[in-house]
Chain A
Amino acid sequence: MMISAGIDMGTQRVKVAIIKDKQIIAQSQNFSGFEPAKVAEQTLKEALESAKLSREDIEHITATGAGVNMASFADSTISMMGADAKAGAYYFPSARTIMDVGAEDARAVKCDENGVMMDFVVNARCAAGAGTFIEAMARALEVEMNDMGSLSLNAERASPINASCVIFAESDVVSLIHREEPKSEIARAIFDAMAERVSSMVNRLGVTPDVVLIGGVAKDVGFVASLKRRLGIDILIPEEPIYAGAVGAALVAAKRAKRRH
């Protein structure tokens, strides 16, 4: 019996996953806020509570994510791409291309059947291909972010939109609303633009099926529909994609703990 934990220090949320013999036994998440180090401790504590474990039961903790240095209690670290590859192969052993669209960045990783990363691309320069974009657009459209996905599914076509940049897109959306374009079409245009960015990134890597989408944005049905349309292939999504990074880190932790034995 081996218990290990992974902690994903995302830009928006801190996620923790605890696994026991390759089974996820607990997951928890919190907004990172202004003191991510404290939040990290807190999130881990919550996860431990839900799994009815104590800190000593965990043999190894591996941290990942943009704020990886904040998790000072972690035993080791792994890059986000490495964690993505591990998680993707864990959820779907047939996965070869894993896309991770988070709050502020998007990544794509190629991996082999063991979840070893073979190649990767990162889009970290611009938020127009990540979750924050949806958030900003939902604000402009004055709809709930979670509703935007289902809203866009009703649209037959997409409105023309300049989506090269979050700021410009926002003013575009405002002028479209003034022209009384249906909100659903605007929403679809937003998702299409985002899918365009993500797919152009993943195309640089080359799309090898099966394709897995993880990260917080993977829950958004509108985005997933647009991305499927854009790539023209089916996309596998785990049940709780937001924890993928943490799960990947926990798997790495398990491997590292085993190596120590």
Chain B
Amino acid sequence: MASKIEKEPKYIPEMAQSEIDELNKSIKAASIKVIEDNIERMKKTWKNRPKAMEYFDEISNLFGKRAKELEEQKAAGKKIIGYSCIFAPIELILAADAIPVRVGSGWYDTAKLGDRIMPVEICPVIRSTVGAKMVSLSPYLELSDAIVIPLTCDGRTKLSEMLSDFKPIWYMNPPRVKDDTHTLDMWKKEILVIKEKIEKLTGNKITRQKLKEAIEKMQQATKAFRRLQELRKGAPVINGRDAMLVNQTSLWDDIERWTQKVNELCDELEKRVEQKDYSSYPDTPRVMITGTPMIWPDSWKVPNLIEESNPQGVVVVDEQCSSDRILYDPVGVDEWNMSDMLNAISERYIMACTCPCFTSEHGNEDRINWIIDRIKEYKVDGVIYYVVRGCILYAMEYARIKKVLDKMGIPVYYLDTEYTREDVGQMKTRVEAFLEMLEARIDI
């Protein structure tokens, strides 16, 4: 690093290097084990897992191939730009020949480290990310030259402050009301500021041609993603966990390679649709997950529970910014000039987003519409509303979603949890009861 930060960190306590090293080593080992265990469990549920999934298993190792690639590319002079949330305009990063990579963390063990400076009521995603920084665990976070942090919730607002001691932080201030006439103007200014910062950091000018190529690259990724989603609409040919993993790897993988691999997977799955080679029985209750992002690898405990429970459920779709929401919306460009492309990017990253951080007179209606549409399109039998403690926005929107779903006659279960493995037993009872209920309803 060019400039090692000398001044004392504002939040993070001083730790002996030996302690850091030790914790890093043990947590890393534990995490690799969790990753392997998750993959093992996915394979166990889906006996005939396609070959194309192997690539995603490999790339899912947060300390493996991709981290090495990034290291090499960084050594070759490429800039790596981290982002904490999918509000960050990926196209602009790609257009400047930099590498975008998501830095939010899902390690349960580092959340405990975060407890040293924050009360447990704080969102565990934040605690975990800060904890990971304390022991330099996340290779992506460590490699980033700058981090884009959209201030979508209170947790992220302070997270940016805590991380600012270590990395240049680029704040983005998303408007909280989408329907105002000035919303887009405000957000577009944020996008332009980020564009300038990216250009300054990388030294590459974002030209019209480059930006067009980046947009088309992401459109191809969206196309591949939608192709995979289309396959999930019918009888399950891919289990929810596997699809979620595929979706989530797009956050740190090379997007072109990812697109190609997803298309390979889809080729294989499309053949299986013809052969009626299903990943779960066609009458398995179809579950939708909505709520707090589930971050690989530790948060896989909930989808693991759902798909391994007795009776079994299959996650056919979700409404999470860690999976189905990442790539769903394309950047729709009307005129391929700089101004319209930037307009299109601004719109895509804020208007199409269904994050509960938005509010208005009608409330966050887009999210409700998304959920209703998905329930109809994917023939969802029941919804699991997943909330980690401290995720206020998702927790608060539950009552409204529940009302809407009750009217539709779709059962919804509020599953609250923490970044801990201890509550799996308790959750299992509840998840099983919910799936049993869904099954009973299907029987009727």
| A interface residues (Cβ-Cβ under 8 A, vs B) | 66, 77-82, 116-120, 122, 124
Contacts and interface: CB of A to CB of B under 8 A. Distances in A.
A164 to B, nearest CB: 16
A85 to B, nearest CB: 9
A77 B426 CA distance: 16
Nearest to A114: B444
A118 B411 contact: yes
B421 interface: no
Interface in B404-437: 411, 426, 429-430, 432-434, 436-437
Nearest to B411: A119
A116 B429 contact: no
A95 to B, nearest CB: 16
Contacts of B426: 124
Contacts of B310: 77
B440 interface: yes
A181 to B, nearest CB: 34
A77 B432 CA distance: 10
A116 B441 contact: yes
A78 B436 contact: yes
A37 to B, nearest CB: 17
Q: Which 6 A-B pairs have the closest CB atoms?
A: A79-B433, A81-B433, A117-B437, A116-B440, A82-B436, A79-B432
B370 to A, nearest CB: 23
B252 to A, nearest CB: 35
A120 B426 CA distance: 14
B433 A82 contact: yes
B440 A117 contact: yes
Contacts of A116: 437, 440-441, 444
28 contacts: A78-B436, A79-B429, A79-B432, A79-B433, A79-B436, A80-B429, A80-B433, A81-B436, A81-B437, A82-B436, A82-B437, A82-B440, A116-B437, A116-B440, A116-B441, A117-B433, A117-B436, A118-B437, A119-B437, A120-B433, A120-B434, A120-B437, A122-B429, A122-B430, A122-B433, A124-B426, A124-B429, A124-B430
B233 to A, nearest CB: 26
- For chain B, which range describes its interface: under 10, 10 to 19, 20 to 34, or 35 or more residues? 10 to 19
Interface of B: 310, 411, 426, 429-430, 432-434, 436-437, 440-441, 444
A96 to B, nearest CB: 15
Contacts of A124: 426, 429-430
A81 B439 CA distance: 14
Nearest to B310: A77
A97 B54 CA distance: 48
Contacts of B441: 116
A233 B444 CA distance: 31
Contacts of A119: 411, 437
Residue in A77, A79, A122 whose Cβ sees the most chain B Cβ within 10 Å: A79
Contacts of A78: 436
Contacts of B432: 79
B148 to A, nearest CB: 37
A24 B440 CA distance: 24
Contacts of B429: 66, 79-80, 122, 124
Given A81-B433, A81-B437, A117-B433, 18 more contacts: A77-B310, A79-B429, A79-B436, A81-B436, A82-B433, A82-B436, A82-B437, A82-B440, A116-B437, A116-B441, A117-B436, A117-B437, A118-B411, A118-B437, A119-B411, A120-B433, A124-B426, A124-B430
B39 to A, nearest CB: 25
A35 B429 CA distance: 21
Contacts of A79: 429, 432-433, 436
A78 B426 CA distance: 15
B398 to A, nearest CB: 11
Contacts of B437: 81-82, 116-120
A117 B430 CA distance: 13
Nearest to A68: B429
Nearest to B444: A116
Contacts of A66: 429
**Which of B430, B434, B441 is most buried by chain A, counting CB atoms within 10 A of its CB?**
B430
Nearest to A109: B433
Contacts of A117: 433, 436-437, 440
Nearest to B443: A116
A133 B228 CA distance: 51
Nearest to A122: B430
A16 B174 CA distance: 59
Contacts of A120: 433-434, 437
